[in-house]
Amino acid sequence: MPGTTVAKVVTVENTGNNPVWVRVKLTPALAPDVADWDSLITVTTNSTDWILDGGYYYYNTQLAAGATTTAVVSAVAFDQTMGNAYQNAQFSLNVTAQAVQSENNGASALAAAGW
């Protein structure tokens, strides 16, 4: 619905046995595609704990085994001016998470090798 904000929480859990560096790529899409839709849909991201660099959000803390990150995404907002062109359109946010070992692999996720 135009003018609404929907809570959408995206986190990453380390299900492995070792600490890791984490990065996430967010790929928004609208089907059917409507021109300039990306200016009317806002994805709220966490710029305190996540650093955007080169199209990826890097978690700025080493993620321990069994731990979960803070949310990289907390909400999606739909602009109030969205008109009839958006009826029956469906927004999706595809999330791709990657992790590499953190031990002996750089001082931060941005410095890590192996991505």
pLDDT digits 0-9 by tens, 23-57: 999 999 999 998 889 999 999 999 999 999 999 99
Backbone angles phi, psi at 86, to 5 degrees: -95, 0
Q: Quick one: pLDDT band at residue 9, thresholds 50, 70, 90?
A: very high
**Three-class SS of residue 21?**
strand
* Closest to 13 (Cα-Cα) out of 57, 62, 69, 56: 69
**Across 17-27, average pLDDT:** 98
Taking only the tens place, the pLDDT of each residue in 81-102 is 998 889 889 999 999 999 999 9
The share of the chain scoring above pLDDT 70, in percent, equals: 100
